[in-house]
Every structure is written in C-alpha cells, then in structure tokens.
Structure 1
Amino acid sequence: MDPAGEPRPGDDGFDGFRMTLPENCVEYMVLNVGGKNEVSETHLPTLEKVRKAAAKKLSQLAKDYIWQRDGFSLETKLQNNLTYLHGITDFGDNVEDEWLIVFLLRQLSKDFPSLWIRVSDNDGEFLLIEAAKVLPKWLSPENDSMRVWIHEGKLFIIPLKATEEKAVSKPLALREAVDTIKSAPDSLLHSTNVEAEAFYRLEKYPGQISESLHYAVVTIPRKLAYILHERPKAIAPATEAFYLRDPVIVKRLLTPSYSLLFPPTDLVTVGIRFTKVLYAQLKSQRFEVMPAWGGLVQSTELDTDEDSRLALRKLAQLELGMKVTAGFEILAKDAHDSDNRLVREVALLLDDLEEEGDSSLPTDEEIGKWEDAKREDNDLWMDINYADFEHELSGQGRGKPKAKGSGFGNPRAEADLKKIVSRFESFLNDEDAGVDGIHVDEMDEDNDSDDEESEDEDKEVSLDEEQFSKMLGEMMGRPSENTGQKKDEGKAATYDHLDDPDSEANDEDDAEEIRKVMVQMESELSGLGVLSLEPTSKTQSSLQSRANPGDGGSNAGAEEEDDDAMDIDYNLAKNLLESFKSQAGMAGPAGNLLGLMGMTLPRDEECSDEEKK
C-alpha cells in the first residue's frame, strides 16, 4: 500500500492503472453478477451465451446500420479475478453510434436480468452528464466513476458508504463496485427523474436507426459499384479517408499522369446507402475536379439539350460520385495493411477483379435489379432555415406541413427545442447553482458577503423569447433592428458607467491606463495605414477617372461626395480582399466574417491569358 492507502501493483485490491479513453470513444462492460431474485450463480447464463444474444440483437435492430468507424463488439476480458464482456467503439463524428450502443445494451439488460452494464466515454459517466440538473448533491465528477450501472433496463447508482463523506470520497474500483452490487443490491439508488433524463435520447430509438440513414444516387465507375454492392458498409472508411485526406495523396490524384485505380471510363448511376453524417461530410467538402473527370464534368455543365433541373441533378450525381471514387482511391492505397476488416475485404475484392477481369462485373440490367438501386432521399435536412427555427421555437410551426426530412416541423425536433429552452431557463432560475452549473454545499457558500443586496437579484430570472430570438438572428448573420440606436445607447451606457463615482472600475488610475493603451493602439494602427481614410494617389486618380471618364476632372466637385465614400471604404475593402486571398480557398477569419454578413466571394482562381488582356 502507498502512503495514501491506495493499493499498488501486485496488491490484492489493485484494479489496474486508470487509463483515459481516447477522444470520441465509448467503453462498455457487461458483468454477469446476478439480480435480487437469483438463487445461485449456477443459474446464471454463460458470457458466451450473452455475447451471441447481443450479436443477434444487433442484427435484428441495426442490420443495415453503417458505423462511422468501429462497430459494436463484445469480447471476454479477465481483470482482477473478474471475467466479463468488454468493448470499445470509436464513433468519430457520429455521436448517434454511441447512443445506439447504449440502446442495445439497455435492451440486452432487459433480456438477461442477471446482467449489470456500465457505459462511459472520454468525458466519464456521460449518462450522468445528461441528468446533471437532477443529480444528488454528493455526486460529482470526482467520485462518480464506476457508480452508474444499467440493470433490467433501469439506471442504478452506487451510493457513498456510511463512513464516507463527500470531502474524502473517491472513485470506486471495479472490484469495489461489483462487491457492493453482490452484497448490498438493495442499497443502490434508483431515481426515476435521473433515469428519465439520462435515457432521454433513447426515446427516439429504434426508429432513429433507420432515420439516421440517407440514400443518394451517384455516378461512379462500374468496378466501384460492384465493390459497394458487395461491401456496402465500406462507404464509411472511404468517406473518412476522403474527409481526412492527406494533401500529399490529393496532389497525386490531381496529377494528370497519375494512374487511377477507378478510372471514369465505364460509369453507372446507382444508389448508395450513407448515414446522414457520412453524406454531409462528402457533400460539404470542396474538392477540385480530378483531371480524368474534368471532361465529363465540363460536358455535363455545357449540356443544353436537357432540362436545366435534370442537368443540375446529373452534375450533382457526378460530383458526389467523383468524391466517393476519390475516397476509395485513397483507401485502396494501403488497404492490405489496414487494421479495418472492411478495408482488407475491399482489397481482396480488388485482387479478385484483377485476376478475373471486367467480365465478372455486373451488367446494367443486373444493376437495375439491385435493392435500392435508384433510391434517393431528400437532403433538405442539411439546409438550416432560421425562419423555420424561429417559428418552431415560438410554437408557430406546429401543425404546418413540412417537407419530409427537413429537420423541423416534427414533434421530436419541437420537443428537443423546448427541452433546450427549459433547461436553460431552469439553470438561470437555480439560485443554488455554482459557476459550473452544479449545486454547492452550504459550507462552500461565502458567508462574508454583504447583507445589503439588491432586491432585483432575488427575482426569478425568466427567458425573454423575443430577445433570445433576436440574439440568435444576429449570431446567424441576420441584421438586427435599430442597430444604430442600440449602439448609441450602449455607448452612452458604457460612458455613464465609467463616469459613475461609485463604480470600482472607474478608478482614476485604471481610466488613465486605458487611455494610454487606446492612444498607443491608435498610433500603431495609424502607422500601419489601417486607420487611414486617404488612398494612395494612384488609387485616387484611378477612382476619379472611373467616376468621370473622359471628363478630365471637370465634374470633380459634383462627384466629390461619391469619391469620398469610395475613399473611406477603399482601405477596408483592400484589407479584407487581401486577407481572403491569403486563405487560399481554405477557412479563415476573412471568409468567416464575410459569411456572417451573408456575403460569399468567389475563389481567387488563376485566369487565362485572354481574360488577363
């Protein structure tokens, strides 16, 4: 034992080194401990039976589900003389994978009453995070580890021992938790309020499993269509490879002499099953047209014989198909050495095609008979309309018909919005909440505070929906009303605050220091020409010549006001454009600022010699 009383490696009570999970990973363990009604351990089902039942349950509920990175799996693990089922899943950017696992494990606990299941991620006991506002005061992130368990579909919490106080409480070891479950199952806490909040996201399952999928029609090489038909879930690692693409590999793909594994010589149009996250990752990415695909994209753009909508649809299918193909090009580069089983299977399929040749590829007639070969879902759910959001928030959108998959206009979206607002309002009205949103003990409260407090602080805080809506509108780029008036009022209030003799912030030394800093900043910005309203002589003459062509400046007086306006905005526009150009088409401050103002600038493409002339 160490001086602090903790067991060391080799001691009986040592539970192993506490490892921190990687980001975006969920860990789960299934213990066959027994329940209150269990007579003997001989009646408990074997772990292998539980593992097979879990695999069967997964096949029944999520047969066509596509995991973002890793799938759900259980393996037998032996630790500290305990044998249990264990698994870790990397869910990447798709948090729905994590909640699907929670749903599966909860269903498994209902089928086997002897099971006790724990689920955690890199944030710790994330089920308690969901129920943070209804947790008992003694429970905190410092002592909640190994205390939360799922049993018979319910949520149980292991309480503190009678001799243990909050000030000295510590996380439990796995052995301690199991011993408590075995010896004193009646002492475990079960709160319906905590359970309802912790499992709130599970209410949309199992329907959410199918709703999270998205079908899209793409134009891809026939060889790739065959591989996706044989291994449809391979779209996940291919999308990840494209989304996290290495610039070196991309440079090779954009080289005209690069030999493509999937050349666009024999294209077919087929339907592909994505998850909404995977589809959004592909659709939202800007990707330069590969040289081999350039002619096809250009001919599709210039095809004027077809209807404009049909032409745009074909172009979108071709561009999305090019991104899918690029993902598989990157994926196949080191497919044989990949740790992902799906990727290795894709490599084996490619080897078989290389040996058998194109004769084994499906014909157009065979492709037409494939399930979901032409299925295409609406992707309006990717478009966030602030007006719809505002209507839903105010309750005005109820009962109005909406496009399927739009993301608004359904009871679940409305419930989520109301829950967000109610939680926010509840937090504001919680007088006992601390800076971290948790309840503090009476001993932690500051008893030295002034007894004379404003009566306004005791009033209940309410959420002004109109003001909240305006704030959201301004954050999303919508101009606010009476901006100038509010700005003047805010400025006046600021100076009134500085002049208030009772304010501590209005100390003379601080005010003098602020003035010195402002003078220094103004001096530096003026030296760099940022605050200069006068353009260079060359620019001014150019502006005047454009404003008065062929006049020689005779109408300079008449156009003086317009020139002054152009002079004032010139430096600002010049700096913004130079900043946007330096981004080289990537995300940056200038692009983000212009986007918030609702302005989108074209990329600084190299123009041809004729255009330069």
Structure 2
Amino acid sequence: MDHIPQDNFKRFGEGFEGFPKQLPEDVVEYMIFVIDSQLSDVQTRERLQAFQRALATLEKKFLKEYIWQRDSMKLDLTREEGRWLLKGSTNYGDSVADEWLIVWLLRELSKEFPDAWMRIYDTDGEFLLIEAANALPNWLNPEMAENRVWINNHRLLVVPLSKQEEPKPLKAEEALAILKDTPARPQHYPKIDEEAFHRLKNYPTAIAENQHHATLPLPRRVAHVLHTNPAYIAPVVEAFYLRDPIALRLLQPEKSKTPLKLAPKDFVEVSVRFTKVLYAQLLGQKWVPPGIWGDALANIMRKGDKQTSMTQEKAEIGIKVAAGMEMLAQHKVYANKKASREIQLLLDDLESGDDTLPTDAEIAAWPKRDDDEEWLNIDFDEFERELSGKGGPTGPSSGFGDKNAQENLRKMVDRFNKFLEDDEAGLDGAKGLGLDPMDVDNDSDRGWDDPEDSDEEEEEDSDQFADAEFEEYEKAMEKFMALSSAEKSALVDDARELARAEEEEREEDEEIQKLSEAMEAELFGLGALKLDPAKESKKEGKKAIKSVNVDKGKGKVRAEEVADDDDDDDDDEGELLDEDYNLVENMLEAFKGQGGMAGPAGNMLRAMGIQMPPDADDDLKTKGEKA
C-alpha cells in the first residue's frame, strides 16, 4: 500500500487543524512582514505604513495609466497572531501580466526595505518555484515548499531542510521564527533566482508594452464615461465577455421593458486604451448585435453618420464596448460593483444637468492613437522554427509580434530539450509521472474488428463527453467564484426564482397529468375508451337485444334475424370495425354503467348537448319486477 499517495490530512480525533485553505482561481495573495528584533510593536507598525506609502509612490510613477484586469494591488495593515503585517490579494482574471507586475513591485520595494520579508503565492501554490522548476534541488518539491520561499532584499530566498528537521512544509509561525532567530539560514540559489524572475527582465518597460490603443466609434455618452476614467474599460469588457441571457435581454428594451441608459446613437470617434488581453478578448468574441445595436453597426458601415468612418473590425469592437457598458450599468449582478456605481453617478449628473456631454470640438482635441496590431500575428513558419530550437533573433522581422511570447516559448523549448538530454530521466523520470494507460498501444492486430473494441470506443466517447461537460462546469464555477459576495447573492436569487417558477410549472403539469390519468382510468373501467370491443361483449349485447324483442311478442322472427346476424358477424370477423360506431356504442355502455348516477360519460355527453333518456333495459327490468 506504499504507492497510495498520503494526503497527511488529520481527521477529527487525530489532531484536526482545520480544513486546508485554498485560494479561488486566478487570485494571487501576498504578505509582508517586518522582522527586526530591535523594533518595538509600534515601530514595526510604522515601518509597514512606510512600506504602504512607498508602494503608492511606485504606483504613481509607473502605473499612472495602467489598467488592471479585475482588481488592483492593495495592501491592508492587519494584525494576526499578535504581530502586524501587510496583507492583500488580487484577482487578475485572464491577465497573468497583472500577477507578475505585483511580483515586480514587491521585489523593487524589497531593495528599499531590507527588513521586509515577503510571501507571494496563487492557486498553484509557490508559482515562483514553478517558474524555476528546472533549477530546483530534488528535496524542494511542491509538498515541501509552503512557507519556505521568501523575497528579501531583491532576492529569492529558500529556507532549506535542517539535518534534524522532518521533511514537511513549514507552518507560518515556524517560518517566521526561523527568519527572526536564524536570519542566515534562508539560502540564495542564484540559478533558482534567475529562473524564478526571468519574466521580470523587461520591467518596467513591459508595463507600457502591455497597453494597446485603438480609435473606435462610440456613442457620445460612452465616450464621455471612458474619458472620465479610462480604467472603466476593464469592467466594461468583462461585462460583455461574461454576458448571460439576462444581460443580452437588457440590450433589447422591447423585451426587457427597460429603457437603455447608453443607447447606440450619436457616434463619435475616440481613442480607447486597453490592455492587450482586454483587446484580444473583444476581438475574439463572435457576436451578432441584436435590434438597434445591429442597426447602429450597419449605419456606421454605411457611413450614414458623417462623423464616423471605420473598418468593419473597429466598428464591431466599438459596438461591443457600448453594449458592455450598457450591461454593466443595467445588470443588477453588477449593482454593487464600484465601476457600475460610479458610471451611474455620471449618468445621473447628465440627467440632472450638473454635467454636460462633450462637444465635437472638445472631442476633436482629445488625443488619438492607433497602435500597431502586429503583436496579434504569428508567423507559423517561425513558430515551427522556435519549437525546433532554431529560431532567429527577436525583433519586428522575427515573425513574432510579441517579444515576450517569443521569449517564453524559447524558454519552454529549452527546458524540454534539457529534459530530453537528461540521461537519468526515463519514461518514469519526469517526477514520477509515468505513462498514462491510454498511451500504451494495445490495439488489436487482428484483421477484423473486435466487438469489445467498439464498446471501449463508446466508453471513451462517453468519458470525453463527461469530461467536456465537467470542464464547462468548472469554467462556470470559476467565473462564479470570482464574483463578489453581492454579485453571487444576486445570481443565487435569480437562480432560486427561476427554480421556483420551474417547480410551480412542474407541479401544475403533474396535477394535470394525475387528473388526466384518473379520468382515463375511469373511462377505461367503464369501457368508454375501447374502440375495438371484444366479440364476447358484442354477443352479450346482441343477446340482450334478442331477449327484448322476444318479450315484445315479435321474438321469433327477430330472433332468427339476430341469429343470422350473429352468423354474419362470425363470417366478417376479419373486417375492420367502424370506429365511430364503436365509440358511440362504448359511450352508451359507459353511460349505462353509471346506473343513473353522475359520471364521466354523462358529463361528456351533456357537454356535447346530448340529454340521454332513461335506460330501456332498466325500464324492462322494472316492468318485469312489477309483473
């Protein structure tokens, strides 16, 4: 049983220490401690406050025009376990550049504060070590790395295992005690440091390179809002990127019965600042604008508005931006979002007259900029050369629009080649990954198809379908977990309301079904729905007719006729029955079965305006009893 992975999870009664904490997807968390035995508690707090001010200064210098994908970097002064520290977290969404910008900021500040010790990690754990995986010693695996990796004085330091120490991750208090009592113990490994921070080589230049400007046609109101605060573009793009049926309905006032706040009209040309990720997200979205939004796009392309003259691509992006801002302003899931509230205030000021829309002359004075989109293009011949390790120098003529992407690809190829050249890394050598069972070629070598093979293929297809469904579920859950508590609450309320409506509809359908089944069972029991009665039932009915005719004194002749009819029926047994005749006969039989009481047959006949007379058999029976 040694091969079974040990999770080291202590259950109740075994020293349970609580469930392991895990960050949401796309979230990076960071903590800063000031460790100096000569500082008092108050001085430590003041030192941390100085760190906050230094971060604000650095942000003003380099991030004046930076647009964060979701959350900006923030450091809150807090007290935990009897000590002061700075702590924060940032949801970076799809922009990994935001995460590495935070690493760069902390690393830069570590030069100014050599007594500051910093931890930074994300959903994957110690992601700096993941970057340096090719340079790590054998003992430093993910299970051991927690609380052992620190940034201090512009270096990456690792707390190594001592000879007496049990191989296990450190607790936070243990790590802080080591840093305070034995500050020389954390080791600097130059190769690990170089590999872990290799993405930061182009900073701070890379901060500006992450931006992209495009001149777009936008409604004057939308242009006014974005000019007031260009950072609104991030939540606007996200609102469009994560649009749901409710958001799309809000774009169509004839369906939502809600007037638009930012109608697609009065278009002007303005320059919009994006990050490359935001621009790529909009560019990659395939969307057919409905109703007046589609009409607005058509008008732009027909140059009906003399103020606009755009390519199809730029016009579509402008319509997407306008629609995204409408969703952000209208959808209640964003009601508690800071950008949504601020946009609503700007619109209220316009309605009240406290603010006015910019004129054409004012807009013409705004700076306009269109950046080259070459970074979106990749020469696939160059891509193949990079994969083969034969790529040429970086630059505009290299076939790669994005130099960082080219460098990261080369890094990946280099690491892969080193792995292939490692004689000690066999099939099971990649950290014990081994082969997947599906990698083994065990197909049949026979000349015919094995029925079991087809069953296996069906199972594989079923598994792939299940995996695809699970991936979609995970993506939806990730997006849900990234929302604020207010946004989650609004979505949950909508889901409950929808579920309640569906439940009421289902209960109504079930009640109708039960009534229908009860009616059907009663009619079947009375024979009203038997369109093809059994021959025995026919004979019994005809015998009754025969006996009635005999009682009336005309029985001999009529009895013979009835007998002849019976013979004819036997001869015509294979002929089709008249369904109308059978239906009427069954209805009469059902009415008779009611015995004069209320029942489904009588009710149905009365509904058709048919008033049935007393049953003749009952009259005869009554006369016979009297006689």
TM-score category, normalised to shorter length: 0.5 to 0.7
User: For residue 204 of structure 1, what is the amino acid of its counterpart?
Assistant: N
SS of 1:402's partner is helix
- Equivalent residues in 2 for 1:449-460 (5 A)? none
- Shift in Å, 1:519: 7.4
Give the unaligned 5+ runs of structure 2: 1-7, 435-439, 459-471, 473-627
Q: Check if 1:516 corresponds to 2:451.
A: yes
Alignment correspondent of 1:288: 288
Alignment correspondent of 1:118: 119
**1:316-364 residue CA offsets vs partner (Å, 9 max, x unmatched):** 332211100111111012479644323322222122122117x711111
Q: Check if 1:375 corresponds to 2:375.
A: no
Alignment correspondent of 1:23: 25
Alignment correspondent of 1:173: 171
Alignment correspondent of 2:325: 328
Deviates most, 96-105 or 336-345? 336-345
Distance 1:178 1:113, change over 3 A: same
Deviates most, 75-84 or 199-208? 75-84
Deviates most, 41-50 or 510-519? 510-519
In 2, Cα distance between the equivalents of 1:335 and 1:364?
Answer: 33
SS of 2:187's partner is coil
Alignment correspondent of 2:269: 269
Distance 1:50 1:305, change over 3 A: closer
Alignment correspondent of 1:65: 66
In 2, Cα distance between the equivalents of 1:101 and 1:15?
Answer: 31
Alignment correspondent of 2:194: 196
**1:67-110 residue CA offsets vs partner (Å, 9 max, x unmatched):** 11110000012222221000010000110000000000000111
Distance 1:513 1:435, change over 3 A: same
Alignment correspondent of 2:215: 217
Q: Check if 1:315 corresponds to 2:309.
A: no
Deviates most, 205-214 or 16-25? 16-25
Distance 1:348 1:299, change over 3 A: closer
1:421 to 400, 413, 421: 413
Q: Normalising to structure 2: TM-score of the pair?
A: 0.63
Q: Check if 1:238 corresponds to 2:236.
A: yes
- Shift in Å, 1:506: 9.2
**1:530-589 residue CA offsets vs partner (Å, 9 max, x unmatched):** xxxxxxxxxxxxxxxxxxxxxxxxxxxxxxxxxxxxxxxxxxxxxxxxxxxxxxxx9xxx
Distance 1:419 1:274, change over 3 A: same
Alignment correspondent of 2:555: none
Deviates most, 23-32 or 77-86? 77-86
Q: Is the 8 A contact 2:32 2:116 kept in 1?
A: yes
In 2, Cα distance between the equivalents of 1:94 and 1:260?
Answer: 31
**1:41-90 residue CA offsets vs partner (Å, 9 max, x unmatched):** 58765211111111211221211111111100000122222210000100
Q: Is the 8 A contact 1:256 1:291 kept in 2?
A: no
Alignment correspondent of 1:402: 397
> Identity across aligned pairs (percent)?
40
SS of 2:161's partner is coil
Q: Is the 8 A contact 1:218 1:318 kept in 2?
A: yes
SS of 1:187's partner is coil
Alignment correspondent of 1:571: none
SS of 1:239's partner is helix
SS of 1:347's partner is helix
In 2, Cα distance between the equivalents of 1:53 and 1:400?
Answer: 35
Q: Is the 8 A contact 1:427 1:437 kept in 2?
A: no
In 2, Cα distance between the equivalents of 1:112 and 1:340?
Answer: 35
Alignment correspondent of 2:180: 182
SS of 2:329's partner is helix
In 1, Cα distance between the equivalents of 2:130 and 2:427?
Answer: 16
Q: Is the 8 A contact 1:238 1:328 kept in 2?
A: yes
SS of 2:217's partner is strand
SS of 1:360's partner is coil
Distance 1:272 1:46, change over 3 A: same
Alignment correspondent of 1:451: none
- Shift in Å, 1:390: 3.3
Alignment correspondent of 2:534: none
User: For residue 29 of structure 1, what is the amino acid of its counterpart?
Assistant: M
- Shift in Å, 1:114: 0.9
Name the Cα RMSD after superposition.
3.7
In 1, Cα distance between the equivalents of 2:412 and 2:54?
Answer: 37
Q: Is the 8 A contact 1:392 1:409 kept in 2?
A: no
Alignment correspondent of 1:163: 164
SS of 2:450's partner is helix
In 2, Cα distance between the equivalents of 1:17 and 1:511?
Answer: 53
Bigger Rg over Cα: 2
Higher helix share: 2
**1:384-425 residue CA offsets vs partner (Å, 9 max, x unmatched):** 33123235556565488539xx74485x55543332221001
Distance 1:409 1:115, change over 3 A: closer
